[in-house]
Structure 1
Amino acid sequence: MITRDPDAFFCLARSLDADFGPATARAAFLVAPDGFALAEQSAQDNAYMADAAAFDAARASAEHRALQRAISTVLPTVCFAGNPDTPDAVFPNNVFGTAAGRYVVGRMRHEVRQREAARDDIRGFFGGVLDYAEIDLSTQPHPCELTGALVIDRARGLGFCGLSERCDEAGARLMHEAFGLRATLLFDLAPGEYHANVVLAVLAGRAAVVCPRGFADPAVAAAIAGFYPHALSCTEAEHAAFVGNCIALSADSVWMSAQAGAALAPAQRARLLEAGFRIETVALDAVEAAGGSLRCCIGEIF
């Protein structure tokens, strides 16, 4: 099923067991922020990006190394070299995604990001080292920026796809098929939002972090929150601090940036603890100048 109807979607979702696959990834991959700088094309539709003067390449690199060290304590984490010709490559989950036995290459909206999809080393890692089958969506015309636009409940095989300039309905359908999902809910993002994973996270199949202001229709945000036994509805301050851009890297840990962790209200923190998650944070202030946060930096290997 792929639909815009929340009632139909959740009617099906409630009938599904959490047996689609592992709820969290078995490994992660990163791309180093080499040549970290403002990507002017991406800034056209990413309101979270800072001005060029705010980009500090040395500090971003140090933060990124600290991120790899931190998450390597939870799961194996590889890091590919960056490239000054692809300044947004620090957010690889938009371009490369995985499901059992296969990897997907997304079609990016902006040419500066389309270059990332041509990397032979990353394709060689998935196709040659891991022996995953390739599903290449990068050459078709519909934007589909993978797990930036599509938030996936891996335990149930459910997709939540936010439509914007970065993903249209045809692109959403292509991703739904590529990841082999049972059902995908389509919804419009609010004006000024570019990716669903900035306003929504599904954590190990049992919790959701929702930023209602990021949805064109707040009722969709409420329906998603109502489906999960543990749900956080973020304030505008939490939304702006990238609380919604968090990720569960194990059954008992949720990761977010230090800025997000500082913005998280005590009651929200308590909800995550009640859901069985310890909260881990990593300082990413310099990286966040590029308009994404911790979850955006992490490519998941299933």
Structure 2
Amino acid sequence: MITRDPQAFLAVARGMAPDFGPATARAAFLVTPEGFARAEQSALDNRYMAAAGGYHCEAALAEHRALQRALAADLPVFAFPGDPATPDAVFPNNVFATARPDARVDPHGRLRLVVGRMRHPVRRGEADRADIRGFFRALAGTGEIDLSQQPHPCELTGSMVVDRARGLGYCGLSERCDETGARLVHEAFGLRATLVFDLAPGEYHANVVLAVLAGRAVLVSPAGFADPVIAEAIAGFYAPHVVRLRAGQQAAFAGNAIALAPGRAWMSQAAADSLDHGQRQVLATAGFALGQVPLAAIEAGGGSLRCCVAEVF
């Protein structure tokens, strides 16, 4: 099921047990910020990006190494080298994602690597990386669904926030993902139901304004939705474990969070610092300790911690 109707979606979602698959990944990979710099094409529809003078490659590389070390406390984390020809490739979750074995999608019952279609040409080169594709194909025995050559933008888990426990998707439409792209990602992931909605003007990815943590809690910024009623419908589904973010917290990337193990939610230091005591208590009550990593240099690129992480299920 894929729909724009939140009530129809919730009627189905409420009947879904958390038995679709593991709620959190078994590994993750990163792409190092080699040649990290402002990509002017990406800046056309990403208002979070800093001016060119705000990029500091060596600082971003140091932060990225610390990020890998920190996340490795929760699961295996490996990194592929970046390429100066793709200066904002540090956010691989938009290009690569994995989906659990599903005989409806792959009759061989294999883990699937999904390759997305990026809106901007400067990022389409990331999808052609033989090393990343080859790792999954040759070493992990993974099937592949390649969406990169079709014409509809679909920037994977940037645009589609996924409740992996229940097989539910929340897809925010913008220049980075249209309705056909949303359907393609829904089908590639084999999701049970997806709610499609418009992001507010000026927003580019759903994962900046929404995070579902291990199927148990949600961080949501209503101002990031064209219709805040949609945000409240999603919040109601995960109540009482709901953190509603204010505009300043959204700008600090508090919505760009991820749970990589059942008991911890990760976000950048700036994002964590923006949370108040009550919001932290909501996460604690839901069973999440808060992991935080300084990422000021990387955040100049218009994304934060969650954007850096491509999950392997």
Q: Smaller-chain TM-score range?
A: over 0.9
Amino acid at match of 1:86: T
SS of the residue aligned with 2:45?
coil
CA shift for structure 1 position 73 = 1.1
Aligned to 1:88: 88
Aligned length: 302
Aligned to 1:31: 31
- How do 1:112-261 and structure 2 match up within 5 A? 112-229=122-239, 230-261=241-272
Amino acid at match of 1:265: D
Cα deviation, 1:182-207, whole Å, max 9, x if unaligned, reads 00000000000000000000000010
Distance in 1, matches of 2:184 and 2:68, equals 31
Amino acid at match of 2:230: V
CA shift for structure 1 position 265 = 1.0
Amino acid at match of 2:236: G
Structure 2 residue 306 is matched with structure 1 residue 291: no
Q: TM-score, length-normalised on structure 2?
A: 0.96
SS of the residue aligned with 2:194?
strand
Extract structure 1 runs of 4+ deviating beyond 6 A: none
Aligned to 2:115: 105
CA shift for structure 1 position 160 = 0.1
Distance in 2, matches of 1:127 and 1:214, equals 37
Q: TM-score, length-normalised on structure 1?
A: 1.00
Distance in 2, matches of 1:168 and 1:237, equals 27
Distance in 2, matches of 1:158 and 1:106, equals 19
Distance in 1, matches of 2:310 and 2:225, equals 24
Cα deviation, 1:215-264, whole Å, max 9, x if unaligned, reads 00000000000000311110111111000000001100000000001101
SS of the residue aligned with 1:79?
strand
Distance in 1, matches of 2:221 and 2:10, equals 19
Distance in 2, matches of 1:120 and 1:270, equals 44
CA shift for structure 1 position 52 = 0.3
Aligned to 1:60: 60
CA shift for structure 1 position 127 = 1.1
Structure 1 spans left out of the alignment, 5+ residues: none
Amino acid at match of 1:30: L
CA shift for structure 1 position 130 = 0.8
Distance in 2, matches of 1:197 and 1:69, equals 23
Structure 2 spans left out of the alignment, 5+ residues: 101-110
Structure 2 residue 50 is matched with structure 1 residue 40: no
CA shift for structure 1 position 157 = 0.2
Distance in 1, matches of 2:218 and 2:137, equals 32
Alignment root-mean-square deviation, CA: 0.4
SS of the residue aligned with 2:300?
helix
Distance in 2, matches of 1:185 and 1:151, equals 10
SS of the residue aligned with 2:162?
strand
